[in-house]
Amino acid sequence: MVTRSSVVLLLAALALLPAPAAADNTSCANAHFLFMGVARGVGVSNAAPRYFKARVVAGRSYSFYTWAPFQDAGDGEANVQHTLFADSTCTTLATTVVTSAREPSVEVDGHIGGSHTIIPTFTGTLYIKVQAFGPGFVTAFTAMHETTLFSPWWYAAGDYNAFAEIKNATNTTLTYALTAYRSNGTVCGSTTASLPAGGNIGINIRNLGTCQAAGSGSAQIAFQGPPGAIVANITTLDGALGLSFDAPFTPRMPWALTTQ
């Protein structure tokens, strides 16, 4: 006969059992989810890499960092890296990836880390392989941020001009892609170019594609750099009337980094 007390005892016993262990992410098939803004820490070596996966959207921009928080003196220099793949077997390298070292740097005396940015050409799952190059296991942290910037408004009807002012806030050249949208969310024009270290540019959205005919809309900037590498604003003005207003670009991902 099953009594209430026996059921309670059974449930209590089940609660004490350890949870089923998750499969280690030692293969692409067992890649663990990497949430933006959360640094995942794992032990890696050259022969024992770890794998993660994350969701990306075509045309937006993302930044990845891998670093070793510590390294025993006897182990020599820490060297941890990551590789981005576009398929679930981790055999097809993701494209439009930039590996140039930019500030903030993950390379200092006795430490080499990985720094990549990407403007993906596909919407879907991106796979990340993390490994260390050295004599043994190293603790490695990997983090992902979305860096895309958005401005909610520009106006180019009549005699108005809408200037997108873009500044490179780093000490190296980087590439950006400005996309202007109509008020219904469709693209009316775009431009891609490079900005030198510390450089800036002003782009009249009125002159992009069919944006003048569209009259008004919003804009996006994707760029090949770490968070904060680009700062930007849109100034809409009519010189004859002496009227102007600003619509700053802001990141969609403003939150800071946490660890797990």
**How many other C-beta atoms can be found within 10 angstroms of the C-beta atom of residue 190?**
16
Element (H, E) at 217: strand 216-223
For the domain made up of 149-251, give the CATH fold. Answer: Hypothetical Protein Tm1070; Chain: A (2.60.290)
CB 245 within 8 A of CB 151: no
Q: What is the mean pLDDT of each run of 10 residues along the chain (260 residues)?
A: 51 49 82 93 91 97 91 69 96 92 81 93 97 84 95 96 97 96 98 97 98 97 95 93 92 71
What was the pLDDT predicted at 100?
Answer: 76
What was the pLDDT predicted at 134?
Answer: 73
Name residue 259's beta-bridge partners: 39
- Distance, CA of 37 to CA of 68 (rounded, Å): 17
CB 94 within 8 A of CB 118: yes
What was the pLDDT predicted at 215?
Answer: 96
- Distance, CA of 232 to CA of 163 (rounded, Å): 10
> What's the CATH architecture for 23-146?
Sandwich (2.60)
- Inter-CA distances, 162 with 41, 190, 211, 212, Å: 45, 14, 10, 10
- Do 23-146 and 149-251 agree at the fold level? no
Q: Where are the domains of the chain?
A: 23-146, 149-251
What was the pLDDT predicted at 20?
Answer: 46
What was the pLDDT predicted at 75?
Answer: 55
